[in-house]
């Protein structure tokens, strides 16, 4: 009996598909959607009939399996419903185990937003792993630096002839005023955030201990926020 009912639903679904071009809707539903709903009911009937036959005389086992699969279904639905909160929590937990400077995706506040979260080092500074012109560099986030500033050793790694650059830009350091050379980075990325044509400087030898991620990068973001142990960068 169940097989005939399922077959009847499939026939009705087929008829709905055949007449979809001539009928605007069926009981207020698009004919294609109506056919899919009927096909789904037909499949459900087949499954229930099959299970009923396999569990004949084992009502207790059938009830236990039904409860088990129901629990799995509820867990899947709950996981999908709260997927954003679960993802945010998992990233927060992951951030506690990854080394400082690792870029993690932050909570999405705006559609298509690119965002990363960076954890503070033990010394209180934010050191972040970047890619400049495809080369991995570690940079110290410095809002007091007007531009990205590179050590000459790293400038050399990026393909610049640091001995032939013109060091004409005055730069204030802890040891006083020094001079740096102006360059342009084709690309500079932090996690998923990628900027093109970024203004930067190459410092003279012996004047800079760490590369600086300055305002020529930070000012081109939609926002950057320091909150407790984390720095969040956002760009649309």
Task: Give me the pLDDT at residue 122, please.
Answer: 84
Give the pLDDT band (50/70/90) at residue 21.
Answer: very low
User: Per mean pLDDT, which range of 166-175, 188-197, 222-231 is the poorest?
Assistant: 166-175
Q: What is the mean pLDDT of residues 160-172?
A: 92
Give yes or no for residue 170 having a pLDDT over 80.
Answer: yes
* 29-81 residue pLDDT tens: 666 666 667 666 666 666 676 666 665 666 676 667 666 656 766 676 666 56
Q: What does pLDDT average to over the chain?
A: 77
What is the structure's pLDDT at 102? 54
Q: What is the pLDDT of residues 172-202, one digit of tens each?
A: 766 677 899 999 999 999 988 999 999 999 9
pLDDT tens for each residue of 94-124: 555 555 555 555 555 555 668 888 888 888 8
How would DSSP label each residue in the chain? -HHHHHHHHHHHHHHHHHTTTT-S-BTTB-HHHHHHHHHHHHHHHHHHHHHHHHTTT-HHHHHHHHHHHHHHHHHHHHHHHTHHHHHHHHHHHHHHHSPTT--EE----STT-EEEEEEPPTTS--EEEEEETTEEEEEEE-TT-SSEEE-HHHHHHTT--TTTS-EEEEEEETTEEEEEEEEEEEEEEETTEEEEEEEEEEEPTTS-SSEEE-HHHHTTSSEEEEETTEEEEEE-
Query: Please, what CATH class does the domain formed by 99-235 belong to?
Result: mainly beta
Higher-scoring residue by pLDDT: 45, 211: 211
Portions of the chain given CATH number 2.40.70.10 = 99-235
């Amino acid at each position: 009996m169940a097989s005939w009912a399922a077959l009847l639903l499939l026939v009705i679904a087929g008829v709905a598909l055949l007449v979809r071009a001539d009928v605007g809707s069926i009981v207020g539903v698009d004919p294609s959607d109506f056919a899919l709903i009927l096909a789904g009911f037909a499949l459900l009937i087949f499954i229930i009939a099959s299970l009923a036959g396999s569990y004949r005389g084992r009502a207790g086992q059938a009830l236990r399996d039904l409860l088990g699969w129901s629990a799995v279904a509820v867990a899947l639905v709950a996981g999908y419903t709260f997927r954003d909160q679960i993802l945010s929590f998992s990233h927060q937990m992951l951030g506690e185990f990854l080394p400082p400077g690792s870029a993690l995706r932050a909570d999405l506040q705006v559609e298509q937003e690119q965002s990363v979260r960076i954890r503070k080092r033990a010394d209180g500074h934010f050191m972040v792993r970047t890619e400049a012109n495809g080369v991995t560099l570690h940079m110290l986030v410095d809002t007091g630096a007007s531009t990205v500033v590179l050590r000459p050793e790293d400038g050399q790694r990026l393909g610049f002839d640091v001995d032939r650059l013109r060091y004409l830009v005055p730069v204030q350091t802890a040891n006083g005023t020094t001079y740096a050379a102006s360059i342009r980075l084709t690309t500079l990325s932090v996690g998923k955030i990628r900027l093109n044509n970024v203004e930067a400087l190459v410092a003279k030898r012996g004047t800079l201990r760490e590369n600086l991620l300055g305002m020529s990068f930070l000012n081109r973001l939609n926002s950057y926020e320091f909150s407790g142990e984390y720095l969040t960068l956002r760009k649309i």
